[in-house]
Amino acid sequence: MRWRAEQDVCRLIYDQFVTGPIRARDVPGFSSAGQAFVRGFFAWAKREMPRLKCLNFNFVIHDVEAVREQMQYQYDSRDFEPTSPLYLGIEMQEENIFDIGEKVAQLRAAHPRLVSTTMALINRAMGRTIWVRTPDEFLGMFSSYYWDGDSKASDEDVLEILKDRFGDDEAELENYLPSVVRAELCPSDMDVGRYNRKTHRFSLTPALSAASLRQLHECGPRSVRRICRELEALTLLLKISRPRCLFDLQARPECAYAAATLIACDSPRISQLLDDHYEHLSQSGEGSTFYGFIPFASTPDAIRKQYADWSKAFSILGQLDRVIAALAA
């Protein structure tokens, strides 16, 4: 780093120790300000972050030049205008895949809205934290390849498109029809939203209340009691958090992997979609293992708010992890 950059980093680190929750006693020995900050920050993060079994990601501290290097091949790289000398990166180096089909069948049998509630709450939680790949995303991938990008298309809507591509072989065509594919990739109650074809409007799926989930936990079938308990806890956490991302990402590369992936069933079609996705990002050169970069705050109020947001995000991630673990059990 240049001398000026080193000065900016040292000033930021000083402000972080003075104002933030990082403790000097967590850094008994160090050879530089940067090393002291890294040790202090990760000691704080370890205290705050619940133990995760399903979500897979890491935090990395980068200076501006390291962030520029990660962003250089992104289509919007020119839009990156640094606001801090140090950034917190969220990295996902591989993807844990969970087949939740068996548990979903149990939820569906217990209550007609329990599956849609589960997916809605997972969607809200990841909207405040980090990316989890859900079944609707596979439907979106498939529709972009075969249905002109319309994931809500009917068989009639795409029949001519498929005939142009595959000819008139009915057996071949049937394999790509929405009525067939949707049941495999994303059954209707696993979609995170609803599309009204008359009004052309999309709305998020409503979830059962915490009270309803508590009742299902207490009185529902034994097979769904654990997931209902975890969903209730997630609902209460989301209620005390504003509906925005608690990780204020300034730079967003095209991340290849998700913190976790949920699939409706384990099928060759899903494996092929993931392989095609990874291959496309590899060939384009835009694929990254980083989900995003957050500028470290530098003013007292901003520092306190940032760590408060991160602490809430860690709590939500811990509960989201427990929900996924219950689904995958």
Q: Looking at the DSSP assignment, which residues form a beta bridge with residue 169? A: none
Q: Average pLDDT of the chain?
A: 93
Please give the Cα distance from 99 to 138 (Å, whole number).
Answer: 13
Across the range 223-240, mean pLDDT stands at: 96
Helices (H) and strands (E) in the chain, counts: 13, 9
pLDDT at 244 over 50: yes
Across the range 125-137, mean pLDDT stands at: 97
Give the pLDDT confidence of 31-88 residue by residue, as tens digits: 888 899 999 999 999 999 999 999 999 999 999 999 999 998 887 878 889 999 999 9
Cα radius of gyration (the chain)? 22
User: Phi-psi bin for 5: left (phi > 0), alpha (psi -120 to 50), beta?
Assistant: alpha
Give the pLDDT confidence of 260-310 residue by residue, as tens digits: 999 999 999 999 999 999 999 988 888 899 999 999 999 999 999 999 999
pLDDT at 194 over 80: no
pLDDT at 195 over 70: no
Collapsing DSSP to helix, strand or coil, 241 comes out as coil
Share of the chain above pLDDT 70, in %: 96
DSSP annotation string for 164-193: HHHTT-HHHHHTT-HHHHHHHH--GGG-SE
pTM: predicted TM-score of the whole model, two decimal places: 0.93
The model's confidence at residue 192, banded by pLDDT at 50, 70 and 90, is: confident
The model's confidence at residue 3, banded by pLDDT at 50, 70 and 90, is: very low
Give the pLDDT confidence of 199-228 residue by residue, as tens digits: 667 678 899 999 999 999 999 899 999 999
